[in-house]
Amino acid sequence: MNDSEMRDMLIDYMGRGFLDNIIALFRQDATVYRFIADMLGDDNIRVRLGATALVEELAREHRNELKTAVPGLISLLRHENPTIRGDAASVLGMIRDETSVAALQACLKDDHPGVREAARDALVDMGS
């Protein structure tokens, strides 16, 4: 399965509510962590909520693997949709990777108050 097919499958399955199956896949295959940003940036709210729940579940035992998702999540901080920007900030706070601090600090000046709040909360979670 190529990357495009894998990304599409993950988004489709998350949209159908197969969160437990996706969590199991992520626990077995570290190469799929890079698709988290694709799920979090999807138009379907069910996919985005599932992606957030996925990170929340994996952050306890798979924090190092989650770090591969950080570059994509940082790019979502510039998304046109403020909900997606805020969600990306929140998820970065869960991952707690120091490489995201500068990008989160930049979000403290975002035009949208929800994004600013999510960035503030993420920085607090990270101890910054």
Output DSSP code: residue 68.
G
Instruction: Give the three-class secondary structure for 59.
Output: coil
CATH number attached to the domain at 3-126 = 1.25.10.10
pLDDT in tens, 8-54: 999 999 999 999 999 999 999 999 999 999 999 999 999 999 999 99
| 1 pLDDT more than 90 | no
**pLDDT for 7:** 96
Helices (H), the chain: 3-15, 19-28, 36-40, 45-58, 63-66, 70-76, 82-95, 101-107, 113-126
**pLDDT for 127:** 87
Where exactly are the structural domains of the chain? Answer: 3-126
Output DSSP code: residue 46.
H
pLDDT in tens, 99-113: 999 999 999 999 999
* Greater model confidence, 31 or 1: 31
Q: What pTM, to 2 d.p., does this model score?
A: 0.94
Are 10 and 39 in contact by the 8 Å Cβ rule? The answer is: yes
